[in-house]
């Protein structure tokens, strides 16, 4: 069992549609950063809403190790498997919080440092990646609690490299696109699919000022042009597009906005790792977290 | 013409958020206000590593919107950048606002380019005036091979966007005569 952009919906459906109170992840052999952030938020959401949730964590040491290295247990305050935290591991960029605009530049600097420590990246793609990261991160303090009634939108981000690309994930459990657009006026009765379509495909934001919006639209187009994968989830809607195509889907209702970008390595000007070097394909398939 | 320059790098090497952009805009607008009516402000991106669209919109896009609204007389604004990729998101944001700015890009040939949204006929007219430094509508129309009326509409649009400067040169009935100047001269 693998938890990825493509498969994490089964977990959310179990929890938020079927009302499941137990989550058995013992047989999980691989988790990507997007699935990890969604799990993080699901654990937090259960705690915040007082909903009982009992989780059996993966038993495979490589997966447990990666989750620890990604600071999953530190962030969720879930009971950690008994493994010491290593200073150096396969984790590229552990989970970082985005609580305010002040955190954005700090986070972007950290992500850039981790990426450039691992790869020699050309200047132009590095800048393009940082611009994307800046936009995605600042959306959280800008929009996730625009109504002011979310006690903890808990914006988080993480990143991991694979044989075929780099996967960046950013997520929060704030108000989501539908409630954000409702603040604009005249857009207060949208379904989640219509809201996601308005924001990402039409470039509309909660502000009427013409300079606002279109950032996600531009990022969506850019990732598609790179033959990468992009998943943007909000409420009960998921906009997914990968190299083989994509669509807008009705999915289990879940608070906030969750975004994953799987960017091919060639975009960064970095080749595939040589044979024998640890690594797995980000696009699913068999693999381990080390 | 009096001109002044602001190094955007003074606000940071990596410029991303709207609140950072709003802070920068306050200084940019203050610099504009200190200029005379025909003054020019140059915004330099040298020393900046990354400029996000959100920062660019708050700091530069909204300033350009104020300029074209007439709030700052005939003042003009240009951008200089060491590379084209640094201006990508700024260009997108200006286009979103249906605005345009002239940018001198060091690593590009030709170095002057229009950021934002400007229709091809207007770009053609703008480039011709930049070559000539100054001209009347009649002179431009002849060189472009278009009717004077059409050329008049083009230069009016460029003046409204503060991409060229107009100078009243006399009154000859029935119309006031103007000469138009490149702001990069």
Chain B: give the shortest CA distance to residue A277, in Å: 32
Domain range enclosing B146: 118-185
Please indicate, yes or no, if residue A278 is contained in any of the structural domains: no
Q: Report the residue count for chain B.
A: 185
Q: pLDDT at position A285, please?
A: 39
B17 and A138 in contact by Cβ < 8 A?
yes
Tokens of A141: 């303090």
Cα-Cα-Cα-Cα dihedral sign, residues B45, B63, B21, A136: negative
Compute the average pLDDT of residues A167-192: 95
Closest approach of A226 to chain B, Cα-based (Å): 17
Residue of B23, B24, B52, B55 for testing the chain A interface, max A β-carbons within 10 Å: B52
Specify the pLDDT at position B11.
Answer: 96
Residue A280 is assigned to a structural domain of this protein: no
How far from chain centre, in Å, is Cα A204?
21
**Chain A partners of B57 at a C-beta cutoff of 8 Å?**
211-212
Has residue A286 got a pLDDT over 60? no
Overall domain count for chain B: 2
Which pLDDT does position A82 carry in this prediction?
63
Domain match, B63 and B77 both: yes
Q: Beta strands B164-172 and B175-182: pairing type?
A: antiparallel
CATH code of the domain covering residue A55: 3.30.565.10
The verdict on B93 and B135 lying in the same domain is no
CATH number at residue B172: 1.10.10.10
Q: What is the pTM of this model?
A: 0.91
CB-CB: which of B49, B65, B97 is closest to A127?
B49
Is residue A282 domain-resident? no
Q: What is the pLDDT of residue A161?
A: 94
For residue A168, pLDDT beyond 60: yes
The C-alpha atoms of residue B41 and residue B32 are separated, in whole angstroms, by 7
> Is the Cβ pair B92, A101 closer than 8 Å?
no
Closest-CA residue in chain A for B83?
Answer: A124
Residues B73 and B146 in one domain: no
In this prediction, does ipTM exceed 0.90? no
Query: What is the DSSP track for A238-277?
Result: EEEEETTEEEEEEEEEEEEEEEEEEEEGGGGT--PPPTTS
* Residue in A108, A211, A212 nearest the CB of B16: A108
pLDDT digits (tens, 9 = 90+) for A204-241: 999 999 999 999 999 999 999 999 999 999 999 999 99
Q: Name which of A134, A210, A211 is nearest B52 (Cβ-Cβ).
A: A134
Residue pLDDT, tens place only, B134-166: 999 999 999 999 999 999 999 999 999 999 999
pLDDT for the residue A278: 45
Shortest distance, CA A102 to any CA of chain B (angstroms): 9
Structure tokens at A276: 């024998």
- DSSP-assigned letters across all residues of A223-241: HHHTT-EEEEEEEEEEEEE
The answer to whether residues B112 and B123 belong to one domain is: no
Of A108, A135, A142, the CB nearest to B14: A108
Using CA of residue A256, residue B54, residue A101, residue A76, what is the dihedral sign?
positive
Of A131, A213, A214, the CB nearest to B52: A131
A215 contacts in B (CB within 8 Å)? 53-54
Quote the minimal CA–CA distance from A64 to chain B in Å.
35
Both B11 and B92 in one domain: the answer is yes
Does A274 fall in a domain?
Answer: no
Concatenated DSSP letters for B2-55? -EEEEEGGGG-SEE--HHHHHHHHHHHHHHHHHS-TT-EEEEE-TT--EE-HHH
Nearest to A137 by CA among A176, A102, A113: A102
Q: Are B126 and B154 in contact (CB under 8 A)?
A: no
Nearest to A181 by CA among A154, A215, A155, A146: A146
> A210 vs B98: CB contact, 8 Å cut-off?
yes
Interface of A with B (CB under 8 A): 101, 104-105, 108-109, 124, 127-128, 130-131, 134-135, 137-138, 142, 210-215, 218
For position A284, what pLDDT does the model report? Answer: 44
């Amino acid at each position: 069992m693998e938890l990825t952009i493509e498969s994490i919906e089964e977990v959310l459906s179990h929890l938020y549609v079927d009302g499941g109170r137990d989550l058995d992840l013992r047989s999980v052999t691989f988790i990507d950063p997007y699935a990890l952030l969604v799990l993080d938020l699901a654990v937090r959401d259960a705690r915040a809403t007082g909903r009982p949730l009992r989780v059996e964590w993966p038993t495979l040491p490589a997966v447990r190790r990666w989750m620890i290295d990604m600071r999953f247990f530190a962030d969720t305050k879930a009971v950690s498997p008994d493994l010491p935290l290593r200073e150096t591991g396969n984790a590229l960029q552990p989970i970082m919080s985005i609580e305010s605009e002040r955190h954005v530049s700090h986070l972007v600097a950290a992500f850039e440092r981790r990426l450039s420590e691992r790869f020699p990246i050309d200047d132009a793609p590095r800048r393009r990646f940082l611009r994307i990261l800046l936009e995605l991160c600042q959306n959280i303090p800008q929009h996730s609690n625009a109504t002011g009634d979310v006690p903890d939108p808990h914006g988080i981000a993480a990143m991991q490299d694979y044989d075929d690309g780099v996967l960046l994930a950013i997520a929060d459990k704030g108000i989501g696109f539908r409630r954000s657009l409702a603040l604009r006026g005249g857009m207060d009765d949208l379904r989640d699919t219509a809201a996601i379509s308005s924001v990402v495909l039409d470039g509309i934001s909660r502000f009427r000022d013409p300079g606002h919006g279109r950032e996600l639209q531009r990022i969506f187009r850019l990732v598609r042009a790179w033959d990468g994968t992009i998943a943007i989830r909000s409420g009960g809607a998921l906009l997914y597009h990968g190299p083989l195509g994509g669509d807008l889907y009705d999915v289990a209702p879940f608070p906030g906005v969750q975004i994953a970008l799987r960017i091919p390595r060639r975009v960064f000007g970095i080749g595939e790792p040589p044979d024998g070097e640890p690594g797995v394909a980000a696009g699913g398939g068999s693999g381990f977290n080390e | 013409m009096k001109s002044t320059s602001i190094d955007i790098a003074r606000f940071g090497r990596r410029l991303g958020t709207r609140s950072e952009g709003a802070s920068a805009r306050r200084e940019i607008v203050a610099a504009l206000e200190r200029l005379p009516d025909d003054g020019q402000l140059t915004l330099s991106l040298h020393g900046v590593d990354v400029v996000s669209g959100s920062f660019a919109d708050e700091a530069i896009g909204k300033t350009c919107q104020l300029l074209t609204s007439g709030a700052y007389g005939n003042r003009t604004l240009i951008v200089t950048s060491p590379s084209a990729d640094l201006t990508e998101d700024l260009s997108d944001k200006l286009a979103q606002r249906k605005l345009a700015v002239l940018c001198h890009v060091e690593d590009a040939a030709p170095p002057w380019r229009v950021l934002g949204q400007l229709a091809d006929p207007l770009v053609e007219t703008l480039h011709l005036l930049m070559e000539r430094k100054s001209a009347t509508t009649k002179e431009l129309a002849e060189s472009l091979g278009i009717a004077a009326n059409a050329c008049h509409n083009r230069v009016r649009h460029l003046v409204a966007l503060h991409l060229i400067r107009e100078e009243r040169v006399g009154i000859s009935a029935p119309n006031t005569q103007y000469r138009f100047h490149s702001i990069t001269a």
